[in-house]
């Protein structure tokens, strides 16, 4: 039996820092401290040659240590099709009916000014509770559930 208990979720994107900062705001995550010898990420970026900008990777993590680290890596190609893996942001856990829909709507309304895009609302059926489909600032799908 494996002893691995932690995972990192990696996103391919065009602007790693921008997408990481969106997810920090969405999830309450934090950006790690800048590399040793630098008092800010801006100072670090200013030390790099122009060809290394924008940064090829950026990360954020759950300040409590409970959630997975998110890593964002720059890739040259844009997003073409639906994600095969996506995040479910647990905005309505334990809620049902109108109370759940209100919680999903409130979280959706909070995320839209950050750059998220609202998708289709999937209403509850016999097997599943309601779920709001969303996209982050680079079009990566996620769900509010």
Question: Who wins on pLDDT, 48 or 120?
Answer: 120
Same domain, 65 and 100: no
Per-residue buried b or exposed e for 82-91, using 16+ beta carbons within 10 Å of the residue's own CB: eeeebbebeb
Range of the domain at 119: 87-144
Residue 126 has pLDDT above 90, yes or no: no
Q: Kindly state whether residue 42 falls inside one of the protein's structural domains.
A: yes
Q: What is the pLDDT of residues 57-108, one digit of tens each?
A: 899 999 999 999 999 998 888 888 888 788 999 999 999 999 999 999 999 9
Same domain, 16 and 68: yes
The rounded distance, in Å, linking the Cα atoms of 104 and 143 is 10
Whether the link from the prior residue into 54 is cis, omega within 30° of 0, is yes
Same domain, 67 and 111: no
* Total-model pTM: 0.84
Q: Kindly state whether residue 111 falls inside one of the protein's structural domains.
A: yes
Q: Are 100 and 93 in contact (CB under 8 A)?
A: no
Q: What is the pLDDT of residues 10-45, one digit of tens each?
A: 999 999 999 999 999 999 999 998 889 999 988 988
Question: How many structural domains are present in the chain?
Answer: 2
DSSP state letter for 64 = T
Residue that finishes a domain, picked among 53, 74, 95: 74
Same domain, 92 and 35: no
Same domain, 92 and 50: no
Same domain, 65 and 96: no
Same domain, 122 and 95: yes
The rounded distance, in Å, linking the Cα atoms of 104 and 110 is 10
Q: Kindly state whether residue 3 falls inside one of the protein's structural domains.
A: no
Same domain, 21 and 58: yes
């Amino acid at each position: 039996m494996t002893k691995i208990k932690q995972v990192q979720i990696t996103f391919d994107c065009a602007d790693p820092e921008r997408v990481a900062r969106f997810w920090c705001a969405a999830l309450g995550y934090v950006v790690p401290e800048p590399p040793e010898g630098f008092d800010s990420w801006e100072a670090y970026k200013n030390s790099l040659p122009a060809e290394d900008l924008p940064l090829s990777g950026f990360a954020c993590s759950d300040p409590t240590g409970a959630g997975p680290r998110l890593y964002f890596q720059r890739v040259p190609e844009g997003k073409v099709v639906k994600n095969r893996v996506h995040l479910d942001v647990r905005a309505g856990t334990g809620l049902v009916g109108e109370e759940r829909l209100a919680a999903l709507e409130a979280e959706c309304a909070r995320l839209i000014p950050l750059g998220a895009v609202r998708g289709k609302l999937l209403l509850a059926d016999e097997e599943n509770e309601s779920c709001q489909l969303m996209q982050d600032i680079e079009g990566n799908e996620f769900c509010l559930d």
